[in-house]
Protein backbone atom coordinates (compact mmCIF):
# COMPACT_ATOMS: atom_id res chain seq x y z
CA UNK A 1 0.00 0.00 0.00
CA UNK A 2 1.40 3.34 -0.97
CA UNK A 3 0.86 7.01 -0.48
CA UNK A 4 -1.28 9.19 -2.73
CA UNK A 5 1.92 10.24 -4.53
CA UNK A 6 2.80 6.70 -5.64
CA UNK A 7 3.00 5.71 -9.28
CA UNK A 8 3.41 2.01 -10.04
CA UNK A 9 4.38 0.96 -13.55
CA UNK A 10 4.28 -2.67 -14.61
CA UNK A 11 5.47 -4.43 -17.76
CA UNK A 12 3.85 -3.51 -21.09
CA UNK A 13 0.37 -4.96 -21.45
CA UNK A 14 -0.13 -5.41 -17.72
CA UNK A 15 -2.37 -3.14 -15.67
CA UNK A 16 -0.69 -0.25 -13.89
CA UNK A 17 -1.66 2.25 -11.21
CA UNK A 18 -1.10 6.02 -11.13
CA UNK A 19 -2.37 8.96 -9.15
CA UNK A 20 -3.51 12.21 -10.76
CA UNK A 21 -4.31 15.41 -8.91
CA UNK A 22 -8.01 16.19 -8.67
CA UNK A 23 -9.84 19.37 -7.76
CA UNK A 24 -10.17 20.44 -4.14
CA UNK A 25 -7.15 18.47 -2.94
CA UNK A 26 -8.62 15.09 -3.88
CA UNK A 27 -6.91 12.65 -6.17
CA UNK A 28 -8.09 10.31 -8.88
CA UNK A 29 -6.41 6.95 -8.97
CA UNK A 30 -6.11 5.46 -12.44
CA UNK A 31 -5.79 1.75 -13.26
CA UNK A 32 -4.53 1.40 -16.83
CA UNK A 33 -4.90 -1.69 -19.02
CA UNK A 34 -3.29 -1.88 -22.46
CA UNK A 35 -3.44 -4.24 -25.42
CA UNK A 36 -0.82 -3.70 -28.13
CA UNK A 37 -1.35 -4.53 -31.80
CA UNK A 38 -4.46 -5.47 -33.75
CA UNK A 39 -7.39 -6.10 -31.44
CA UNK A 40 -9.46 -9.27 -31.11
CA UNK A 41 -12.50 -10.05 -28.99
CA UNK A 42 -11.30 -11.49 -25.69
CA UNK A 43 -12.02 -11.75 -22.00
CA UNK A 44 -9.72 -10.07 -19.52
CA UNK A 45 -6.42 -11.81 -19.00
CA UNK A 46 -4.74 -9.39 -16.60
CA UNK A 47 -6.05 -8.63 -13.13
CA UNK A 48 -5.53 -5.39 -11.28
CA UNK A 49 -5.97 -5.90 -7.53
CA UNK A 50 -7.24 -2.95 -5.52
CA UNK A 51 -5.29 -2.39 -2.31
CA UNK A 52 -7.67 0.06 -0.65
CA UNK A 53 -11.39 0.87 -0.59
CA UNK A 54 -12.19 2.96 -3.67
CA UNK A 55 -15.08 4.24 -5.74
CA UNK A 56 -15.06 3.91 -9.54
CA UNK A 57 -15.96 7.18 -11.27
CA UNK A 58 -15.73 6.18 -14.95
CA UNK A 59 -13.61 4.43 -17.57
CA UNK A 60 -12.00 5.76 -20.76
CA UNK A 61 -10.99 3.65 -23.77
CA UNK A 62 -8.61 4.89 -26.47
CA UNK A 63 -7.07 3.30 -29.54
CA UNK A 64 -4.15 4.19 -31.79
CA UNK A 65 -5.94 2.93 -34.91
CA UNK A 66 -9.67 3.56 -35.07
CA UNK A 67 -12.15 0.72 -35.69
CA UNK A 68 -14.14 0.78 -38.92
CA UNK A 69 -17.23 -1.16 -39.98
CA UNK A 70 -18.42 -1.52 -36.37
CA UNK A 71 -17.86 0.17 -33.02
CA UNK A 72 -15.29 -1.06 -30.52
CA UNK A 73 -16.87 -2.00 -27.18
CA UNK A 74 -14.98 -2.70 -23.95
CA UNK A 75 -16.25 -3.88 -20.58
CA UNK A 76 -14.81 -3.57 -17.09
CA UNK A 77 -15.32 -6.41 -14.63
CA UNK A 78 -15.07 -6.39 -10.84
CA UNK A 79 -14.25 -9.84 -9.49
CA UNK A 80 -15.39 -11.37 -12.82
CA UNK A 81 -18.71 -9.51 -13.16
CA UNK A 82 -19.40 -6.41 -15.26
CA UNK A 83 -19.62 -3.05 -13.52
CA UNK A 84 -21.94 -1.93 -16.36
CA UNK A 85 -25.22 -3.76 -15.78
CA UNK A 86 -26.56 -0.99 -18.03
CA UNK A 87 -24.59 -2.28 -21.01
CA UNK A 88 -25.09 0.94 -23.02
CA UNK A 89 -22.78 2.68 -20.51
CA UNK A 90 -19.71 0.59 -21.46
CA UNK A 91 -16.84 2.45 -23.16
CA UNK A 92 -17.79 2.35 -26.87
CA UNK A 93 -15.46 3.82 -29.47
CA UNK A 94 -17.42 4.95 -32.53
CA UNK A 95 -16.52 3.89 -36.07
CA UNK A 96 -13.47 5.95 -37.11
CA UNK A 97 -13.18 7.31 -33.55
CA UNK A 98 -10.23 7.05 -31.21
CA UNK A 99 -11.62 7.46 -27.69
CA UNK A 100 -14.72 7.27 -25.51
CA UNK A 101 -15.53 7.93 -21.87
CA UNK A 102 -17.99 5.50 -20.31
CA UNK A 103 -21.27 6.40 -18.75
CA UNK A 104 -21.57 6.02 -15.00
CA UNK A 105 -20.96 2.40 -13.92
CA UNK A 106 -23.74 0.65 -12.01
CA UNK A 107 -21.23 -1.00 -9.65
CA UNK A 108 -18.80 1.53 -8.20
CA UNK A 109 -17.66 0.28 -4.77
CA UNK A 110 -14.32 -1.50 -4.50
CA UNK A 111 -12.87 -3.09 -1.37
CA UNK A 112 -9.28 -4.01 -0.55
CA UNK A 113 -8.61 -7.27 -2.43
CA UNK A 114 -11.19 -6.79 -5.21
CA UNK A 115 -9.82 -7.05 -8.73
CA UNK A 116 -10.61 -5.41 -12.06
CA UNK A 117 -10.32 -6.87 -15.55
CA UNK A 118 -11.09 -5.47 -19.01
CA UNK A 119 -12.85 -7.39 -21.79
CA UNK A 120 -12.89 -6.49 -25.47
CA UNK A 121 -16.51 -7.32 -26.32
CA UNK A 122 -16.61 -6.09 -29.93
CA UNK A 123 -14.08 -4.90 -32.51
CA UNK A 124 -14.38 -3.13 -35.84
CA UNK A 125 -15.64 -5.44 -38.63
CA UNK A 126 -13.53 -3.91 -41.44
CA UNK A 127 -10.58 -2.63 -39.41
CA UNK A 128 -10.53 -4.10 -35.91
CA UNK A 129 -8.68 -1.20 -34.33
CA UNK A 130 -5.33 -1.44 -32.58
CA UNK A 131 -3.29 -0.41 -29.57
CA UNK A 132 -6.06 -0.17 -26.98
CA UNK A 133 -5.71 1.55 -23.62
CA UNK A 134 -8.48 1.42 -21.01
CA UNK A 135 -8.17 3.64 -17.96
CA UNK A 136 -10.39 3.19 -14.91
CA UNK A 137 -10.65 6.32 -12.79
CA UNK A 138 -11.45 5.97 -9.09
CA UNK A 139 -11.29 7.89 -5.86
CA UNK A 140 -9.95 6.43 -2.63
CA UNK A 141 -12.57 6.22 0.12
* Residue 141's pLDDT band (cuts 50, 70, 90): confident
In this prediction, residue 27 carries a pLDDT of 74
- The burial class, CB within 10 Å (0-12 / 13-18 / 19+), for 75 is buried
The reported pLDDT for the residue numbered 135 is 95
pTM: 0.83
Q: Which of 52, 103, 113, 35 is nearest to 78 (CA)?
A: 113
pLDDT at 5 over 50: no
State pLDDT tens for residues 109-121: 999 999 999 999 9
Query: In this predicted structure, what is the pLDDT of residue 1?
Result: 35
Q: Which residues contact 1 (CB under 8 A, 6 or more apart)?
A: 51, 52
Q: Is 25 helix (H, G, I), strand (E, B) or coil?
A: helix
At 140 the pLDDT is 87
State yes or no: pLDDT of 59 exceeds 90: yes
- For the segment 6-54, what is each residue's pLDDT rounded down to a tens digit? 333 333 444 555 555 444 545 788 999 999 999 999 998 889 999 899 9
The pLDDT assigned to 3 comes to: 38
Beta-bridge mates of residue 19:
29
pLDDT tens-digit map of 80-132: 999 999 999 999 999 999 999 999 999 999 999 999 999 999 999 999 999 99
Q: Give 84-91's long-range contacts (Cβ < 8 A, gap of 24+).
A: 90/121, 91/59, 91/60, 91/61, 91/134
Amino acid sequence: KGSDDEVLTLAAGLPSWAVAAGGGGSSLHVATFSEAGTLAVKSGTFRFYVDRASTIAYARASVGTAPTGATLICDVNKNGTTIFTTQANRPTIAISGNTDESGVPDVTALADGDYLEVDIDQIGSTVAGSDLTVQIYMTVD
